[in-house]
Amino acid sequence: MNRKNGEEKVKFSRLALIDAEIRSEKYPNSEELAAKLEVSQRTILRDIDYLRDFYGAPIAYDFNKRGFYYTEPNFFIRSVMLSKEELETIIEYDQFTTFTTRKDDDSSVKFRKIIDKLLMVLPEDQTNSLPFSPKPTREHDFIFGGAIQLNAEINYPISMAIKNKEVIEIEYWISDNRMWEKQEIKPLYIFYQRHHYYLLAWKNDNHEKPGIYSINRFRKVNKTGKYFDIPADFKVSDYIKKEADISPADNKLYHFELSFPKEVASEAIEKTYYHNQHIKLCEDGTVYVSFRSTQLHGIFYWVLSEGHKVKVLNPPELVDMIRREALKIAQYYK
């Protein structure tokens, strides 16, 4: 836990105690609260202001009784008591939605703030044992489209196995043989590309090159009670970049220009498609969006999924890719 988070947890704990003292109708003053909580009076006064501003606490000072009280007797700091399982479910959901929502999406930002508040008021022994899922790297942060459905019975044990470095037994669909195959794997990293989740994992004791598994092909995930170690020099990026069949990472920076027709303009103008985007409503009613990114292939697959709702203006490489794909599709409807 970093210093800032530690200070915030202490602060929320202190606020809860101040709230309890005021609600007890003991009319505590800043001097008494400072002595009880072993902080300065200035800190207590800042906390009182925070309770007023952040929680809307109706705190007043009684000069006769020389202490603070609530002008509304029924006021209290509202809190939610969560079991560890409930908290783990929330964190699990939050971790996976980081792969399927844009960082600056309003709903995503609001949800992140709620999660941060919950973590601040929980004991450290609980927050240190939460399930872990790797955050998306910068090179894979281009994600258009909505969230896919997640199977908790599959994703949760994978997430916990990554955290605990535990070998898992899976039932995996082999499309070539059209059958379910049992395998023991050592899960390393979950990542999201082309609107799907993938798992980087070692199979058995083959540590030369991890395999990439599509999580939507998992039917069962079971614990084995066996554990493994990861070498200190192991780098996930060494393997994901090389898997061109998933989504190749381009080293070239492209200038993307997109046009959205009038039919979807009202929806398009309100969206954030990329963190460095420039967006405007044109005189003809269309919406123009431009941004720079290296994610040529990721954007290619998103454009295909949108169909007639978006037109690619630039770069020429993407225009050619879309044109070739459209010709292939057109052959089926001659």
The pLDDT of residue 7 is above 70: no
Bond prior to 28 in cis (omega within 30° of 0): no
Mean pLDDT of 249-261: 80
What is the overall mean pLDDT for the chain?
A: 76
Name the residue with tokens 């606020």: 15
Amino acid at 83: S
220-253: per-residue pLDDT in tens?
Answer: 999 999 999 988 888 887 777 544 344 444 557 7
129-188: per-residue pLDDT in tens?
Answer: 444 433 443 333 344 443 344 566 788 888 888 888 999 999 998 866 778 899 999 999
Residues of the chain with CATH 3.30.70: 254-333
Between 76 and 235, the higher pLDDT residue: 235
Contact 246, 226 (CB under 8 A): no
83-115: per-residue pLDDT in tens?
Answer: 556 655 665 555 555 444 444 455 556 665 666
Q: Which pLDDT band, with edges at 50, 70 and 90, does 266 fall under?
A: confident
Between 305 and 220, the higher pLDDT residue: 220
Stated pTM of the model: 0.40
Residue 176: C-alpha distances to residues 150, 181, 206 (Å): 25, 11, 22
The strand ranges marked E within 131-217 are: 166-174, 179-193, 196-203, 206-214
Which runs of consecutive H residues, i.e. helices, occur in 26-173? Answer: 30-37, 41-55, 84-97, 106-121, 124-127, 152-164
Q: How far apart are CA 187 and CA 165, in angstroms?
A: 7
pLDDT for position 111: 62
CA-CA-CA-CA dihedral for 89, 92, 98, 101, to nearest 10: -40
Counting every residue written for the chain, the total comes to 334
Give the residue among 289, 309, 294, 323 at the shortest CA–CA distance from 145.
309
Residues of the chain with CATH 1.10.10.10: 3-70
Contact 140, 191 (CB under 8 A): yes
The pLDDT of residue 310 is above 90: yes
Mean pLDDT of 181-209: 82
pLDDT for position 116: 58
The CA angle 253-259-260, to the nearest 5 degrees, is 130
Strand duo 67-70 + 166-174: pairing:
unpaired
pLDDT for position 96: 52
Least confident of 137-151, 201-215, 262-276, 308-322: 137-151
Mean pLDDT of 253-272: 86
Other C-beta atoms closer than 10 Å to the C-beta of 131 total: 20
* Token duo for residue 88: 């783990």
Q: How far apart are CA 299 and CA 312, in angstroms?
A: 10
Mean pLDDT of 199-209: 84
Neighbouring-strand partners of residue 288: 259, 280
Which three-class secondary structure state does DSSP give residue 255? strand
pLDDT for position 221: 93
User: If one looks up domain 3-70 in CATH, what number appears?
Assistant: 1.10.10.10
33-75: per-residue pLDDT in tens?
Answer: 999 988 999 999 988 988 887 777 889 998 898 999 988 766 7
Class level of CATH domain 254-333:
alpha beta
Q: Which pLDDT band, with edges at 50, 70 and 90, does 299 fall under?
A: confident
Residues 6+ positions from 308 with CB-CB distance below 8 Å = 261
